[in-house]
């Protein structure tokens, strides 16, 4: 089922997610609905806050992305992306690995038509549980690392606009304010 996507500045986007402790059929169904919602909106990641739930849970799918845009190791091997994407990620814990920082123009499904450059570390290790509660360790870089960092930020109430330089943020300030007004009017 495609769920409505919450737009900025709905307060739920600022809520820190509760840890996932129950890995049941309802969580898997939520994950499936979030994947369907993300695909319908043509996104590559979606966090629980974006469908109105403050939970440490997000989905990611880079099967359509250019394989040259990222590299990874999942639990010590490198399976084809088709085998584990779309990913359902619960309780992600990110460790930044020594690497260059990278600037990239990000978008967000909670900010329709708004984009801006965000600088992030390139390589990370992320420990998480899947929707069945099975723990995993992924080391990744490039677009996959960026996408997971963006989604993990959502789970803590942090948004990509918080990570922009003052100059980038100022350049889109009017669009952000207009979006906040529109969201408020629709509430």
Describe the strand order of the beta sheet including 72-74 as a list of residue ranges. 45-47, 57-60, 87-96, 124-129, 135-140, 72-74
Contact region with Zn ion (CB under 5 A), list: 1-9, 10-18, 103-111, 115-123: 103-111
Whole-angstrom distance, CA of residue 171 vs CA of residue 184: 22
Q: Quick count: other Cβ atoms within 10 Å of Cβ 126?
A: 21
Report, in Å, the least distance between residue 163 CB and Zn ion: 11
**Among the listed residues 30, 108, 118, 144, the single contact to Zn ion using CB under 5 A:** 108
**Residue 55 DSSP class:** B
**Among 27-35, 65-73, 107-115, 161-169, which window interacts with Zn ion (CB under 5 A)?**
107-115
Nearer Cβ to Zn ion, position 6 or 108?
A: 108
Residue facing Zn ion at closest CB distance: 108
Closest by CA position to 45, among listed 105, 108, 102: 108
Smallest distance, Zn ion to C-beta of residue 25, A: 27
Verify whether residue 125 is a known catalytic residue: no
Grouping H, G, I as helix, E, B as strand and the rest as coil, residue 122 is coil
Which of 30, 108 has the CB closer to Zn ion?
108
Report the residue number, 108 or 143, with the smaller CB distance to Zn ion.
108
- Least Å distance, CB 150 to Zn ion, is 5
Q: Is residue 11 packed enough to be buried (19+ CB in 10 Å), middle (13-18) or exposed (0-12)?
A: exposed
Residue ranges in contact with Zn ion by CB under 5 A? 108
């Amino acid at each position: 089922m495609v769920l409505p996507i919450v737009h900025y500045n709905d307060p739920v986007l600022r809520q820190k997610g509760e840890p996932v402790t129950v890995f049941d059929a309802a969580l898997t169904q939520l994950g499936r609905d979030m994947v369907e919602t993300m695909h319908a909106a043509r996104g590559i990641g979606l966090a629980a806050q974006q469908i109105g739930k403050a939970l440490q849970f997000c989905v990611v799918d880079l099967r359509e992305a250019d394989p040259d845009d990222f590299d990874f190791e999942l639990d010590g091997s490198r399976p084809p992306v088709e085998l584990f994407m779309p990913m359902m990620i619960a309780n992600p814990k990110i460790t930044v690995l020594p690497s260059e920082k990278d600037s990239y123009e990000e978008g967000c499904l909670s900010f329709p038509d708004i984009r801006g450059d965000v600088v992030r570390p390139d390589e990370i290790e992320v420990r998480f549980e899947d929707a069945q509660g099975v723990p995993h360790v992924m080391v990744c870089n490039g677009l996959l690392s960026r996408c997971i960092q963006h989604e993990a930020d959502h789970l803590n109430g942090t948004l990509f606009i918080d990570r922009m330089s003052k100059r980038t943020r100022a350049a889109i300030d009017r669009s952000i304010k207009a979006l906040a007004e529109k969201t408020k009017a629709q509430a």
